[in-house]
Amino acid sequence: GPPPTGGDVNHGAALNGIVWAFAGLSTLILCLRYYTRWSLTRNLGWDDAIMGFSIMLLYIQSSMVSVAISYGLARHQYYLPLSHVSNVVKWQLLSEPFAIFGTTVPKIAITMLLVKIMGPSKHGVIWLWSLNILLNAISIVCLITAFVQCTPVSAYWTHMGTCWAPQIVANLAITQGAISSFTDFALALFPVPIIWNLQMALGKKIAVCLLMGLGCFAGISAIIRTTKLAKLTAQSDYPWETWTLVLWVAIETNIIIICACIPSLRPLFRTWLGKS
């Protein structure tokens, strides 16, 4: 076919830079969380271990994105050798488990924090855990279908074998994205009425509600990521069509990690600001 309009545009370096800049920011904020929990409040818990696992998933996912970029992700297929296109598709598929669970695992840590804050509100606790279970169940289904959609698995990037209609996997991924986004908003907004009814100063209530409400940004990025998922069915220019999806997956994953850490930093902020 004719060359793409605009020529051999390459957003690879920019994509790589954004992915790793976000990963660096997440790492910094996670380190501050550990410092706060270890030195100031001395209450390291299971949720901190879960956040450590989350950042490992993030590093693996980001590294695989870098490999895909080295083969031509964020460039037009027209300018790439076929072997490179296959490698972009392969590394994107291999990064999928880390991308999916990179966004679901930190939500478990956020839920654990909310359960601590809410105390004995049984209905709320059951509801939040049910959302997490539903999200992880659909995520596991997504993951399995990603790897069984082609026989053999390598047919996904070599086109030598049989595969399901790409729409099946895309629709599942869109369902997972919708539930993921809903969970982000639920985790961000659910504690607001509870915190509002606590006996504390108004300014403090507003500050805590705003900190918990940061999760809305994760919800928004999940919505944007979900709108890009239809690109997974791209047949003609996959390395170019999917790079914005990869970008938004990275942004969403990092925002969730950051949102999961920031509420734990209140004692640190207080120390820095020098008031109780």
pLDDT tens digit string along 101-135? 999 999 999 999 888 877 767 788 899 999 999 99
d(CA 194, CA 244): 37
Within a domain: 1: no
Number of domains in the chain: 1
Within a domain: 6: no
The CATH number of the domain where 131 resides is what? 1.20.1070
Within a domain: 5: no
Within a domain: 3: no
CA-closest candidate to residue 132, choices 98, 180, 96, 188 = 180
Which pTM was predicted? 0.93
Within a domain: 183: yes
Q: Where are the alpha helices (DSSP H) in the chain?
A: 12-35, 46-70, 82-118, 122-148, 155-158, 166-189, 191-196, 202-213, 215-228, 238-241, 243-261, 266-273
Check residue 195 and give its pLDDT: 82
Within a domain: 7: no
Domain assignment of residue 125, given as a range: 12-273
Contact (Cβ atoms closer than 8 angstroms) between residue 188 and residue 163: no
Check residue 252 and give its pLDDT: 95
With a cut of 50, which residues of the chain have pLDDT below it?
Answer: 276
Within a domain: 2: no
Check residue 200 and give its pLDDT: 85
